[in-house]
Structure 1
Amino acid sequence: MGDVSHILATIGQEVEDADEESFLLFSQDIPSSNLGFVDSKASAVDITIHDREYTIHQSPTLLSSSRAGGTTGAVLWKITPLFASWLSNTSSNPLWTTEHLTPSSTIVELGCGISALTALALSPLLEPQGTNGHYIATDQEYVHRLFRQNLQSNPPKATSKASSSSGIKKGKKQQKASAAISQNDAAQLNPHQNITFTSLDWETDHPETLKQQIAAAGEEQEAGEEFDPGFDLLLSCDCIYNEALIAPFVRTCAEIARLRPSPSAFTESGSKSGRKPTICVIAQQQRSPDVFEAWLRETMRYFRVYRINDDALGRELGVGSGYLIHGLVLRD
């Protein structure tokens, strides 16, 4: 298992100056992606990731509404399938090849939106073990209904067969019928048992309680296991588009990262504690250099920032693609 310094060296070069980074990135030719929607008028879009087809339901009506608090999470954005595909490539993504991510990892996403696409792509790679092997998706409550619908519309490959055979066995043996009904109801609401959605307000909520949602969703902590409130990976995809959001967003990232040991503590004793520092991976479409630079300045107050290199990202997400991917690790 590689330590954090090795992982960061694999990810790319550390950003030392916000002005220089912004100038370098925005002086490139940037392909036009309009606002960045996949199809803002369709009620459903079909997406393929690693030969797996997904149908994603969305809400053009909600997107165009005047809902207070924003509506950008109501539809799928172009960067999300690319980001989900890159993250779920276990053979080339440095987070997997360095074993920072493993089947027992816990992942949290900020601003997941309605699609559930990143969660759907990563959840088959996670194996629930107590409170580990789990994906927590967070956003405002208004996305919850469509998020749940997209989980139901894209069940795990073996879910239907496994559920029906399991139901037959229980029927024959007549074992705890009421409990079986309850479990089946839960599976219908969320066939992906290692994905949990919870609302999270970056300005008012307390991220340290996020992982308690796993137990509430039915994943009991294993006997004798010390509760770990932290996460191996924090993800965010295309949430940086408004300067007013920057401070609460970055503060929330920092609060979540502080739930785990600092990078130096892991280097010295992480092999004993088994708890890795949280790595944050922030993806965004190139739009406003002013907003990007404001985000980077604020982020560098709390984190060391690494622009993930093109070798690790590939052509579709590398420099000049119109998308930016940065890795963050909390400063000591």
Structure 2
Amino acid sequence: MNAEQFSSSIDLFCLPPDSERVLDADEEIFLIYTRLAGDGSSSSEPLGLGFVDSKSSEMTVSFNIEPPIPGLPEMTTSPARKSPGRDRKKQARARKSEPVFLSYVLEQDPSSLRSRKGDTGNVLWRASVRLCQLLLTEHHFPPAQPLLRRVSLETARVLELGAGIGLLACALGPLTGHYTVTDIEVLVPLLRKNVSRSALSPSRVTVTDFDWVALQNAPKSRRSTVFGVDGHGPFDLILCCDCIYNTELVPPLVEAINYAAPGSGTVVLVVAELREEDVLREFLSTWLESGSWEIWRLPERHLGVRTIAWAGWRKSSD
């Protein structure tokens, strides 16, 4: 079955027709990194860790969301284009809507990035910014096939795993029916502070801790004490953005995904910066083997060749 033949009972999510089904982790990772190596725009740059700014204690993240240009091709950076300024003027006149400017002020704790081993959630990472830009753009200027259908999102219950300082929660929380934003307990005060300063309604956004390792180690009868899915779900969408960086956390993360998405009505969207191949391979292999999951790789046009996005859901026969 290809993406064009795909039919989902999940009203919220729209699978792009040029998505590719993931059946084998080794093959998938080989394809991803082969494409990355062949991409001239990024092959000369080191992959790096992917944080935006590891020194500032406060930062402003701004999005200037441009409406689409009807009847005109996208801008190109080709040297053959002699008058980019003239083309921009034509495009500006063709716009039917005004651009949307959104800005979020977020606190960081860069000292903890250096002082607490393995604690990476105290600063903002590029993958979150890219995903935020994509979803905000599609929300304000919906394409023919947006990833998330706006009408369904307005009533959807969303869970974010490993939210860090909370950019996605601040930006997407007001667009959903209810947004549950989580991270480990030590990060919750910073996360709660950023959500609060964005003036988000507590009835719309819930901030709580969710420790995947504690969940994995807990007996099934006691797992609700680690994170009460029934109290916040059932979830229509689970977001997991840039949480794949440590092999030791792969099994707990997959366990958390399976726990929070027990049925076929939940879409899981996993986004990751391309760093170590082995960590991504282990995650994908573990996820594929953890149950009857159907997983698709989204087209690189959404987030660029340096960031991977997979969408998954349990098969309805589960």
Which bin holds the TM-score, normalised by the shorter protein? 0.7 to 0.9
C-alpha separation in 2, matches of 1:253 and 1:231: 11
Aligned to 2:159: 108
CA RMSD, Structure 1 to Structure 2 (Å): 2.4
C-alpha separation in 2, matches of 1:80 and 1:196: 19
Which of 120, 124, 128 is equivalent to 2:170? 120
Aligned residue pairs total: 251
Residue 95 of structure 1: CA displacement? 3.4
The residue type equivalent to 1:106 in the other structure is: R
Residue 310 of structure 1: CA displacement? 3.5
Aligned to 1:18: 25
SS, match of residue 95 in structure 1: coil
* Pair 1:45 & 2:97 matched: no
Aligned to 2:196: 152
SS, match of residue 151 in structure 1: helix
Residue 201 of structure 1: CA displacement? 1.3
C-alpha separation in 2, matches of 1:47 and 1:192: 22
Residue 197 of structure 1: CA displacement? 0.9
Residue 62 of structure 1: CA displacement? 1.0
C-alpha separation in 1, matches of 2:299 and 2:230: 31
C-alpha separation in 2, matches of 1:102 and 1:66: 36
* Pair 1:74 & 2:122 matched: yes
**CA distance change for structure 1 residues 23 and 45 in 2, over 3 Å: closer, same or farther?**
same
Aligned to 2:314: 330
Residue 98 of structure 1: CA displacement? 8.3
SS, match of residue 309 in structure 2: strand
C-alpha separation in 1, matches of 2:237 and 2:184: 20
C-alpha separation in 1, matches of 2:230 and 2:59: 31
The residue type equivalent to 1:299 in the other structure is: W
* Pair 1:305 & 2:295 matched: yes
TM-superposition CA deviations, 1:250-295 (whole Å, max 9, x none) = 111012111x3x3xxxxxxxxxxxxxx1000000000011111111
Residue 146 of structure 1: CA displacement? 1.2
Residue 153 of structure 1: CA displacement? 2.6
* Pair 1:280 & 2:290 matched: no
The residue type equivalent to 1:308 in the other structure is: L
* Pair 1:203 & 2:187 matched: no
* Pair 1:138 & 2:182 matched: yes
C-alpha separation in 1, matches of 2:110 and 2:150: 40
SS, match of residue 41 in structure 1: coil
Which of 87, 94, 104 is equivalent to 1:54? 104
C-alpha separation in 1, matches of 2:50 and 2:277: 16
Residue 38 of structure 1: CA displacement? 0.6
The residue type equivalent to 1:151 in the other structure is: V
**Structure 2-normalised TM-score?**
0.72
TM-superposition CA deviations, 1:206-249 (whole Å, max 9, x none) = 3671352x5xxxxxxxxxxxxxx410000011110111111111
The residue type equivalent to 1:136 in the other structure is: T
C-alpha separation in 2, matches of 1:293 and 1:35: 17
Residue 193 of structure 1: CA displacement? 3.5
SS, match of residue 103 in structure 2: strand
C-alpha separation in 2, matches of 1:39 and 1:211: 37
Matches within 5 A, 1:145-294: 145-155=189-199, 191=201, 193-205=203-215, 206=223, 209-212=228-231, 229-258=233-262, 260=263, 262=264, 277-294=265-282
C-alpha separation in 2, matches of 1:192 and 1:81: 23
Unaligned runs of 5+ in 2: 1-6, 66-100, 216-222
Residue 203 of structure 1: CA displacement? 2.6
